[in-house]
């Protein structure tokens, strides 16, 4: 779990002034290492983690004046804990955007991008570009990576070929020498395990 430090109300107020270099240096020293660790612990390499850090700081810079201007009537700032929760959410969004971009650049959309936890109607062009759909694909990718080692090659092949790559059940039964019932049972077990792993990842995200 990545600990998110709580900034002082004064710091939240001061970074509303982009020309206040001293305040921004304090903010950078406080949060840059935290955001970087957050990204690395979720599998990003050094370069991608640095991209997340830079993107988050840009987003904070764009929004900082609003935090000060539309803050609590009594103090002029949003409560620090709300700022921290917002920063956590911005960091998660930025991380997902970087991962989705890398998935597209590597050209593996034909596998993990087709992967869902249950049957769904064909997505429209708009929904394919929807951030929530991208986020789900990233979560499933992480979950699949996490549980892959728990299954033998044949079981994973049966699941992946039919549920992700769209190979027919009949084709897989002939290729692997298993019955249709066995293939369905394998798929059901792995999909159930994937759901549990995704829920665990989301729970960890909420606590981080």
The Cα–Cα gap between 138 and 92 comes to: 11
For residue 177, the model assigns a pLDDT of: 94
The Cα–Cα gap between 164 and 181 comes to: 18
Report if residue 1 sits inside a domain. Answer: no
The answer on 70 and 35 residing in a single domain is yes
> Which residues form the domain of 140?
112-207
For residue 120, the model assigns a pLDDT of: 39
For residue 53, the model assigns a pLDDT of: 94
For residue 75, the model assigns a pLDDT of: 44
Contacts of 205 (CB under 8 A, 6+ apart): 92
> Using 50, 70 and 90 to split pLDDT, how confident is the model at 31?
very high
For residue 169, the model assigns a pLDDT of: 92
For residue 55, the model assigns a pLDDT of: 92
Other CB atoms within 10 Å distance of the CB of residue 107: 8
CATH number at residue 47: 1.10.1740.10
The answer on 116 and 94 residing in a single domain is no
The answer on 23 and 77 residing in a single domain is yes
The answer on 139 and 83 residing in a single domain is no
The answer on 130 and 84 residing in a single domain is no
Question: What are the φ and ψ backbone dihedral angles of 85, each rounded to 5 degrees?
Answer: -65, -40
The Cα–Cα gap between 208 and 203 comes to: 9
For 62-114, the pLDDT digits (tens) are 887 776 554 444 444 446 778 888 888 888 888 877 776 665 454 434 444 44
Which residue, 67, 86, 105, sits at the end of a domain?
A: 105
105, 99 contact by CB (below 8 A): no
Report if residue 155 sits inside a domain. Answer: yes
In the predicted structure, residue 119 carries a pLDDT above the cut 80: no
Report if residue 147 sits inside a domain. Answer: yes
Contacts of 44 (CB under 8 A, 6+ apart): 52, 95, 98, 99
b/e burial code for range 43-62 (CB count within 10 A of at least 16 → b): ebeeebbbbbbebbbebbee
For 121-168, the pLDDT digits (tens) are 444 444 334 445 556 667 777 788 888 899 999 999 999 888 878 889
Place of tokens 């993107």: 55
Is the model's pTM score more than 0.85? no
The Cα–Cα gap between 187 and 185 comes to: 5
Q: What is the mean pLDDT of residues 169-179?
A: 94
The Cα–Cα gap between 10 and 14 comes to: 6
> Using 50, 70 and 90 to split pLDDT, how confident is the model at 204?
low
Rg of the chain, C-alpha, whole Å: 22
Which residue, 67, 83, 105, sits at the end of a domain?
A: 105
The Cα–Cα gap between 36 and 2 comes to: 10
For residue 171, the model assigns a pLDDT of: 94
The Cα–Cα gap between 137 and 110 comes to: 12
Report if residue 4 sits inside a domain. Answer: no
For 39-67, the pLDDT digits (tens) are 888 777 888 889 999 999 999 988 877 76
């Amino acid at each position: 779990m990545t600990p998110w430090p709580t900034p002082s109300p004064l710091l939240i107020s001061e970074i509303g002034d982009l020309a206040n270099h001293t305040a921004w240096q304090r903010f950078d020293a406080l949060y840059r290492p935290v955001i970087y660790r957050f990204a690395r612990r979720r599998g990003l390499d050094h370069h991608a983690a640095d991209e997340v850090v830079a993107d988050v700081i840009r987003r904070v810079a764009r929004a900082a004046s609003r935090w000060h201007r539309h803050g609590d009537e009594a103090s002029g700032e949003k409560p620090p804990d709300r700022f921290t929760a917002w920063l956590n959410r911005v960091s998660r969004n930025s991380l997902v955007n970087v991962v989705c971009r890398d998935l597209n650049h590597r050209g593996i959309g034909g596998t993990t991008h087709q992967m869902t936890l249950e049957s769904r109607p064909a997505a429209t062009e708009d929904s394919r570009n929807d951030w929530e759909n991208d986020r789900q694909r990233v979560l499933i990718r992480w979950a699949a990576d996490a549980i892959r080692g728990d299954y033998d090659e044949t079981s994973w092949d049966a699941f992946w070929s039919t549920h992700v790559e769209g190979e027919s059940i009949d084709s897989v039964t002939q290729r692997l020498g298993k019955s249709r019932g066995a293939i369905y049972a394998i798929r059901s077990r792995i999909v159930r395990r994937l759901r549990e792993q995704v829920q665990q990842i989301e729970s960890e995200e909420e606590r981080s």
